[in-house]
Amino acid sequence: MFDLIDFKAMLIIALIFIPLEQLLPLHAEQSATRRHWLNDVFYLLFNGIVIKLGMLLVIGSAMFVMQRFVPEALTAAVQSQPLWLQAIEALLVADIGFYLAHRAFHAVPFLWRFHAIHHSIEEMDWLAAHRIHPVDQILTKSASLLPLFVLGFSGEAVLIYVLIFQWQSVFIHSNTRITFGPLKWLIASPQFHHWHHANERQAYDKNFAAQLPIVDLIGGTLFMPQHMPEKYGVDEPVPQLYHQQLIYPFVAVAEPAAPIVEAAPAAKPE
User: What is the pLDDT tens value at each position of the chain, 270 positions in all?
Assistant: 446 677 888 899 999 999 999 999 999 999 989 989 999 999 999 998 899 999 999 999 999 888 888 899 999 999 999 999 999 999 999 999 999 999 999 999 999 999 999 999 999 999 999 999 999 999 999 999 999 999 999 999 999 999 999 999 999 999 999 989 889 999 999 999 999 999 999 999 999 999 999 999 999 999 999 899 989 999 988 998 999 999 999 985 444 433 334 444 444 443
Phi and psi of 25, rounded to 5°? -75, 145
**At a CB cut-off of 8 Å and minimum separation 6, what does 48 contact?**
4, 5, 6
**At a CB cut-off of 8 Å and minimum separation 6, what does 157 contact?**
83, 86, 87, 89, 90, 148
Nearest by Cα to 158 from 101, 100, 214, 79: 79
Give the integer Cα–Cα distance in Å for 33 and 38.
8
- The helix or strand, by DSSP H or E, that contains position 60, with its residue range, turns out to be helix 48-66
pTM for the full predicted model? 0.88
Buried b / exposed e along 22-59 (16+ C-beta atoms within 10 A):
eeebbbeeeeeebebeebbebbbeebbebbbebbeebb
**At a CB cut-off of 8 Å and minimum separation 6, what does 155 contact?**
none
Nearest by Cα to 24 from 185, 189, 232: 189
CA 94 to chain centre: 13
Kindly list the distances between the CA atom of residue 221 and the CA atoms of 57, 131, 203, 216, in Å, as whole numbers in the listed order.
Answer: 32, 23, 9, 5
Residue 269 confidence (pLDDT): 40
Residue 161 confidence (pLDDT): 97
* Cβ(20)–Cβ(174) below 8 Å: yes
Percentages of the chain per state (helix, strand, coil), in multiples of 5: 60, 0, 35
